[in-house]
Structures are given as structure tokens and as C-alpha cells.
Chains A and B, each alone.
Chain A
């Protein structure tokens, strides 16, 4: 444990030994968190007074809260005063000059995932003008969105350009003091995405952070807000199948989605951050609060996630089904290998009449990993006609891993129809032998069976994403068998 925590400190302490510097335009803040740090972050972003006040209140609330301990996770204590809460974008001098300077293991993974060469440089943070391709793509992309009236920009930009929208919706789904990590994020969030889809507009393309190049190096305390106005539709892709170069140990993001009458938001995530090495050294700690508010009648929010990365995952994308006939969906594949730990699931809160929810969770645990599904289906007394179907399956690979399920069902209306099924099993020796008898190697057979196990979720992903996600799964499970 000692080495792990030293390692954690080592990571969070990086490059900040120069102390506090006045020029916040270009430099990072020293480690530690107090009101001055919150003010400095806000000032650096030229934020209006109300937002600074909002952050400060969050900070004060955070001080009074305790880090949750109920999750089935074990990790060294996070030293919050050892973290630097604002890091300026890296200067080109700090970046690798070419792919030759990049960790060969990372390059190997890109190769296996079939990432195009020029993309590899961008993902690995190489200081070359490989990003030009993306810039031109992004420009045409922005024009097309502007024509449709869609707002898609960084969170900081939205605060300046669309303060009325941000003010109206910020924190309206995930209140500042919702939980410890949400309060922390609310105080110090760095940047993120803002999306507004006007009434009746079907967003002409899938939105992806991938194209939003100005979001570089904002991952640590990211904040995303998506508002789909009446009758609109948007599909949003978060992340990228390639592992991003990322040196922040602690991630505490917030995603808020609001769907008004007849609106639909489809939110897909591929999370593939550094999971630590085989011995559990290093890796990202990922504490995320994601929540969608089906505020309007007939609205729909659908979460699809493929999670293969991070050393620690604490994540429960949820839906508040307020509007009559609103629909919430959660499709998840979570893979943990080596010493990864994940405590993940969803909450479906049925408030409006005739609300429906579907949960499909596929967990794969290998090596010495521990994975938990934690879910809540709550049917409030006024939610007549609520329906939920939950399917929650775990696949175990190897003797030393664990798979756990903790589903809560709280049903307070007699017309609710709730069905919950869960299974846990290992890959059957018969299935493996059958595939091998057909000439398929053991590793390929495992990949094939695992992909089959996850099929219900993959089919919810946008096409190209699904193909990449499958490749990613195979890479993540490397060495799990044999």
C-alpha cells in the first residue's frame, strides 16, 4: 500500500514544485485547495461573479462532507491537498517531439486498435501539427452545426457566450452537494463540453469530444452539460477508444443531461484510461457523477458505456424519470483485469406516470480484479404504470477475480412491473474447447465468447464505435487466459 500511495503522490506532485506564481495566464496552481484556489480558477477563466459564488458555495459544502466509503473498493487515501487543481495546457516543449519518444506500449495498443498514424500522434500528445486534419474537420463540422442552431462548445466558452443557458441548467440535475466528488467538481471544475439543441432540431451529426480540439487537457475535473429542448434529438460520444495520454491520477467529472418534452439524448461513452500495471501500480481513479433528467413528457435518455480503463471506477449514470411516459436506458459493458476495481451501475428513479426503464449490465472480471454492479430502481408513490427490466450478467475469468451485484429495488406503487435477473458464471470449458476444436486459438475464443456476451450492449453503440469497442475489449483482456 505504501508504494501505491507514494506513487499516487508522485503523480499528483508532478511539475508543481515551483510554488505559487502570479502569472495564472500560463502557469499551474500549486497543490492544495482553499478559497483562493477556487477564486484563482474562476479568475483564470474570466468567469462572472455568480459562477464564482456558485463554486465557493460548492467548496464550502465539500468541506463539510465525507468521502463515501460504501463502495466495494479499496484504494489508498486520496490526499486532496496534494493535488493541483489547475494545470495550464502543456507547452510544446514539454510534449514528446515525435512518436519515437512515446511509450512503446501505448503505440502497440494503437496498432492493435487500428488507429490511423496521424491520429496516434495527436492522441499521444505529440507536439506536431498532426492536429491540422482534425482542425479542418472541426471547422466544417462547426459550420454545419451552426446552420442547425446547435450550440456545441467548451464549457468555459458557454459561460461567456450563453450565460443565461448555463445559469438556468448548471447544477439543476446534479446539485452541488449531491455527493462528495460532485461538490469537489462543482468547486474546481476545469472545463468540459456544453451542448444545446434547440426546439425540434435533430442534431445533424453525432457530437463527439473527439472533434472538440480546444478541450485538450481538461479531463481531470470535467463538466458536461447537455440540454435537449422540446422535440430535439442528439447523440453524444464521450471519449475515444484509444488510450489518451493522461497524467492526472484523480478524475472527478460531472455530466448533466436535460431532456425536455419529446426530446431524446443518447450518450455513449468509451472509457479507456490507464488502468495501472499488472501489479496495480498507477492508474486513474475515476469518480464520476452522471445523471440525466427526463424533465419533459415522452422524453428519453439513454446511457451506453464501455468501460475498460481506470484503476478505480466509481460511476452510476442515472436517470430521473420525471416526465410522463419518459424512458431511461442504461447499457453497460465493464471490463476489469489485473488489479482493477470497479463499482458501477445505474439508478432509475421513476417519478412520472408510465415511465419505463431498461438496464442491461455486462460485467467481465479477470485477473485479480474486483467488480461490482450497484443499481437502484425506485418507483415513487405517484409513478403509476412504471416498468423496469434489469438484466445484469457477470462473466468471471480466473480464480482470483470477483464479481458482485448489489441491486436495490424500492417499489412504492402497486401498478409497477419490475423484473430483475442476474447471472454469474465463468466461460464454460465446453465453449472454449468447441472453438479450439474448430481451429480458433484460446485467446481468440475467449474474445469471441466475451464479445458475444456483450452483444446486447454493443448493438446500442454507434456503428464505428461498436467495432472499436470490440477491439478494445480484446486488448483489455490480453493475458487474462492461459
Chain B
């Protein structure tokens, strides 16, 4: 199934980033290397577990035209209107060791084109479930044609007691005057490892709105790289990460303003409880000549446990003067006065915490750009919050 020899594959695994790389300072991919090596040792065969029920459950929860990538293998939907889809037969040259790994081990790639205004969102379900330790790859290219107006929902899930590492690449292009809404829900098993690399390129007067929700996963690293090369783009994206015991969630974003005018706005929020670590690194680069750029970054974190750690790094690189850029980052706790107030109204401490953490996340939930998925996101967030608050060691 692989195009390259075991030696070549091992060589690529050996070049995966380490914490000595500045961009990976806080996230150690040893587990991904280890799982992949073990999988290669075992003959690079994946014995799929029964995940059909889970596929049914997830695809039934959001009304969309679902493309399912199960253990790296593509299942096309029966019918789709306003969408054309094909398997990828060419993969561009890889720009990183992770991308090389993806190219080398990719089974099925998918290309989706959205024209006009489809009546349903495009659903992409990335799901893994294997009987043994395994590694899987996925690659999807999404094109919003000029003037199109569409929605994409990515749902990342996994099952199984064995170690798993999945490595996904998504490339989105938003054509001139197109209006793209993008939602990413990540709810992998708490033992599993995931890396995703998403690129977005926008055309003239294009609009891209996105939100990512990291609710699961043991070791998660998401890279979101947005390039603005035509004027008039309006970019806005949110991210929520909820981390409980043993989780490590890393979100890296980068926006390249190559021309102006354009606006980009991002807001990431995190709630951390138990022994866990989250990373947020937001970078906005305003290149020479990108006059009329307005870029804003915000990152807010609630640390609820003695053993939780947040590493935040909002970066701005600005090479022209006609700009307005700002960023704000906070790290704090739940407000004791508010907690007390709720308790005087009869809520127990746990409940009061849930109410307040929910409120902390509520703004992002209410802005979910794919309206038909808003309710399910709200339910998932609430359920995950209940879990991580429940495991509270109550330090305060």
C-alpha cells in the first residue's frame, strides 16, 4: 500500500519536528513517531474495527452531505447537489516532514468543489478505529468557486483502546466574492494523537468564517495557515479548547496579509482542568505593501487546576505602516464573587463552576458559522465541560 520503502518512510518519521524546533517548542511528537514506527514494524497494515455505528451516529447528528474518511479510506455520499467531488490523484510537493508523511502514506485523497449555494453543508467525517496501534492519513482539498456561498463541517473522531495517530491535511481555497463558513469539531478518543494542517487561501473580496472546537484527543496539534493575496478579504475565526486530565492541545495559527485592505480577526478560548497543557500561538504577518490591514488576535484562558499549564504566544510581524493590529491575551480563574453569588442562589460549587465556564465559552458557541450545527456544538461543549469540571480536584 505504500509508495515508498520502509527505509524511506522511517527516514521521514525521523525528521518529524521535535521540541528543538521553535514552532514545536511546547509540543512533543514522540508519541506520533512511536506509534508510526510500531505500525511500520507491524507491516503497516490497519485492521479496521467496527466503526459503522459511530459513523451513523455522527453523520445523523448534523444534516450535511457527508464524505467519510474511515481509517484513511474514502466513502463518497450517494448524492450531492451543488457539489462536485473526486478522488485526488495528485498531491503537491510536501513542504514539511508531516506533509511528506501524509503524501507517502495517503490512501485516498478527496477534492470537493462548491458552486453556487448548496442547500446543505459539506460534511467531512474523519474517523479512525483500529484493532491495533495504527497511523492514518487524510487529505482534502476544498474549493469555493467564485461567488459561491457554502458551508463545510469537519468532524474528527476516533475509537479504540489501542494507540492511534492520524495526520490530516486540508487545503481550502475561497474564490473571488465567495462566502465560506467552516466548522471543525474534534472529539477524538482521549488516548489518540492528531495533527492537522489546514491552509486557507482567499480571493478578492472573499469572506471566510471559521470555528474550531477541540473537545477530545490526547495529543492534538492544529495548524491553521491563512494567506491573503487579493484585496478585500474578510477573515474571522474562533477556537475553543477544553482540556481535562492528560490532554495536550496545541493550536498554531498564522495569517499572512500579503495585500490590503483586508481584515482578520481571531479569538481563541481555553478551559483547562486537571493535569493538562494547552498551547496557543497566533501569528499575524503584515507584509510590505499590505496597506489597510486590520488584524486582531485575542486569546483567553481559564486555568482551573494546579497541574494545568497554558503557553500563549501572540505574535505580530509588521512590515508596513498603514495597519491597525492588536492582540490581547489573558490567563485567569473563575471569578470568586460570581461563584459565591451563584452559591447564595442555591447552586452547588460544581454546578456554579459549570455555569460560569459555560458562560466563558458561550460567545464562541453562539458564533458557530454553520448555523445548522450550532445546537450540536452547544451540546458537545456542554457535555465535555461537565466531564472536565467533574474531574475537578478543587484546588480553590
Contact = CB atoms under 8 A, between A and B. Distances in A.
A, B assembled together: yes
A398 B327 CA distance: 22
B309 interface: yes
Interface stretch (B79-87, B142-150, B314-322): B314-322
A85 B264 CA distance: 51
Interface stretch (A73-81, A404-412, A447-455): A404-412
Interface string A117-157: 00000000000000000000000000000000000000000
Contacts of B325: 423-425
B306 interface: yes
A406 B315 contact: yes
A419 interface: yes
Contact of B303 (A394, A402, A414, A422): A414
Contacts of A399: 288, 291, 320-322
Given A409-B329, A418-B332, A419-B330, A404 B303 contact: no
A422 B330 CA distance: 12
Nearest to A403: B318
A421 interface: yes
Nearest to B309: A412
A418 B329 contact: yes
A406 to B, nearest CB: 5
Most buried by A among B313, B326, B396: B313
A253 interface: no
A410 B26 CA distance: 10
B308 A414 contact: yes
A424 B328 contact: no
Contacts of B329: 407, 409, 418-421
Contacts of B324: 424-425
A205 B130 CA distance: 74
Nearest to A381: B306
A402 B316 contact: no
Nearest to A425: B324
Nearest to B317: A404
A416 B303 contact: yes
Given A70-B22, A381-B306, A422-B326, A417 B331 contact: yes
Given A418-B330, A421-B326, A409 B316 contact: no
Interface in A365-420: 381, 394, 396-420
Contacts of A425: 323-325
A215 to B, nearest CB: 39
B54 interface: no
Given A403-B316, A408-B313, A420 B326 contact: no
Contacts of A90: none
Contacts of B315: 404-407
B332 A420 contact: no
A401 B315 CA distance: 17
A426 interface: yes
Nearest to A404: B317
A397 B318 CA distance: 12
B306 A413 contact: yes
Contact of B331 (A394, A396, A418, A421): A418
Interface string B283-307: 0000010010000000001011111
A421 B317 CA distance: 15
A396 B311 contact: no
Nearest to B329: A420
A424 B301 CA distance: 23
B114 interface: no
A212 B308 CA distance: 50
Contacts of B311: 408-411
Most buried by A among B309, B311, B318, B330: B318
Given A410-B311, A420-B330, A426 B306 contact: no
B330 A424 contact: no
B331 A416 contact: yes
B333 interface: yes
Contacts of B317: 72, 402, 404
Nearest to A414: B303
A339 to B, nearest CB: 14
B103 to A, nearest CB: 30
Contact of B395 (A394, A414, A420): A414
A421 B306 contact: no
B365 interface: no
Interface in A414-447: 414-426
A449 to B, nearest CB: 14
B312 interface: yes
A423 B326 contact: yes
B64 interface: no
Nearest to B319: A402
Nearest to A406: B315
A417 B317 CA distance: 26
A196 to B, nearest CB: 38
B333 A415 contact: yes
B326 A402 contact: no
Contacts of B313: 406-409
B255 interface: no
A424 B303 contact: no
A278 B106 CA distance: 54
Nearest to B304: A414
A177 to B, nearest CB: 19
Contacts of B309: 410-412
A144 to B, nearest CB: 46
A357 to B, nearest CB: 13
B318 A422 contact: no
A402 B284 CA distance: 13
Contacts of A396: 318, 320-321, 323
Given A409-B310, A412-B309, A421-B327, A404 B332 contact: no
Contacts of B307: 381
Nearest to B308: A414
Nearest to B395: A414
A407 B314 contact: yes
Most buried by A among B305, B316, B324: B316
Contact of B321 (A401, A406, A414, A420): A401
A404 B321 contact: no
Nearest to B315: A406
A381 B22 CA distance: 23
Contacts of A413: 303, 306
Interface in B324-363: 324-333
18 contacts: A72-B317, A401-B321, A404-B318, A406-B313, A408-B311, A410-B309, A411-B301, A411-B303, A411-B309, A413-B306, A416-B303, A416-B331, A420-B327, A422-B314, A423-B326, A424-B318, A426-B321, A426-B322
Given A401-B321, A407-B313, A411-B303, 5 more contacts: A72-B317, A399-B322, A404-B316, A417-B330, A425-B325
Q: Across chains A and B, which 10 residue pairs bring their CB atoms closest together, nearest first?
A: A396-B321, A418-B331, A414-B303, A420-B329, A424-B325, A426-B321, A409-B312, A404-B317, A423-B326, A402-B319
Interface of B: 22, 288, 291, 301, 303-333, 395-396
